[in-house]
Structures are given as structure tokens and as C-alpha cells.
Amino acid sequence: MFPALVKAGNIIKNKLIRKFLMGDKFKRLINIMSESLYKQIIDYPNIHQAYLDARQCKRYRSSILRFGYDLESNLWQIKDDLKNGTYKHGPYREFVVADSKKRHIKAAPFRDRVVHHALCNIIEPILDRTFIYDSYACRRGKGTHVAVKRLERFIRSIREIEHERERERERERESRLRRLIGSIA
């Protein structure tokens, strides 16, 4: 096909896509979806589950204990702030960790982590479906160990294919040698 025609076709296709994306029907659909997702995010049971997720393995830290002391009030305050559009992200806490190497860490306040979890509880399943199978970072049921095991399986299968090819080449060499010996004799 001619490059100019391909380019022209792509330009027309892109214009149609842009026209669709800027159209009123698409904007209404996005608004409806956004409102529905936002209602799910600020739903009290979701915010409570987010609190449970955020405190996991950290329940006895002072900031989490303070938050939990007046838990219901704090969760309703988060819900109201998100609903009214008055939510403000708090200042990060900075510290240095020197385990294997020195790293500067900035941690969000616990209240903000609850909001982060509330958001992730709703959008993670939606986004997760769009990822390729072999994407392993920060996904449930995946991670470094699963990725390494999958890589090892790929390497093993490649080695098996290479061994099979080598055996096939060896059989071909033997066959040619027999034919050569047979033609001489």
C-alpha cells in the first residue's frame, strides 16, 4: 500500500476518534461512569474497608491508634470531605531508612492512606483487567516470586526447544552421512 494513503487514513481515523471523544454522548457517558465510581469510592463500607487495609501490619503505631480512637467520626469526616469536595491531602512525613542502602522516604499521613486505599479498592479491579497477563508489579496474586517462576518456565521451555533442535540437527547429519556412505558403497 502507498505510504501517503496510509498516512491519510490514519489522519482521518484520528480525527474521527477525536470527534467521538469530544462528543456530547461520550462526555455524558464519562460523567455517568465517574459519578458511579465516585459514589462507590465514598461509600462508607468501602472507606471502612480502606481503613482496615491501611492499618494492616501497622495497627499499633501511634498515628493509627489515634485515628482508631475516634474511628467512626474520622471515617464519616473523610466521607463528608470527599463528598463535598473539601478534602485536602496532609503533609508528608519524611524519614531516612538505612537497611541495605540509605533511602529517603516520604510517607503520607494515615488519613490520606485510608483515602488511597478507598480509591484503589474500586479502581484496581477495573484497571487490572486491562493489564497484560505477564505484568507482575503491585498486583494481587502476582509479584516478584511469581514473575521469577514464570521466567524460569520460559527459560526451561526455550532450553527444551533448543535441545530438540540440536537432536533434529544431529539426526539430519547422521542421515546425510548414511546417504553419503550408501552412495560410496
Same domain, 180 and 97: no
Count of domains forming the chain: 2
> Tens digit of pLDDT for each residue in 41-65?
889 999 999 999 989 888 888 888 8
Same domain, 85 and 151: no
Same domain, 60 and 84: yes
Same domain, 139 and 126: no
Same domain, 19 and 101: yes
- H helices of the chain, in order, are 3-22, 24-41, 44-54, 62-69, 71-84, 110-128, 144-184
Q: What is the pLDDT of residue 30?
A: 59
Sorted by sequence, the CB contacts under 8 Å of residue 142 that are 6+ apart come out as 135, 136
Same domain, 107 and 170: no
Same domain, 128 and 138: no
Q: What is the pLDDT of residue 15?
A: 52
- Does the pLDDT at position 22 exceed 60? no
CA–CA dist 153, 181 (Å, integer): 42
Q: What is the pLDDT of residue 1?
A: 45
Same domain, 45 and 105: yes
Same domain, 29 and 113: yes
> Tens digit of pLDDT for each residue in 77-128?
999 998 888 888 889 989 999 888 899 988 889 899 999 999 888 888 887 8
Same domain, 178 and 126: no
Question: Which domain does 38 fall in, by range?
Answer: 3-132
Same domain, 16 and 78: yes
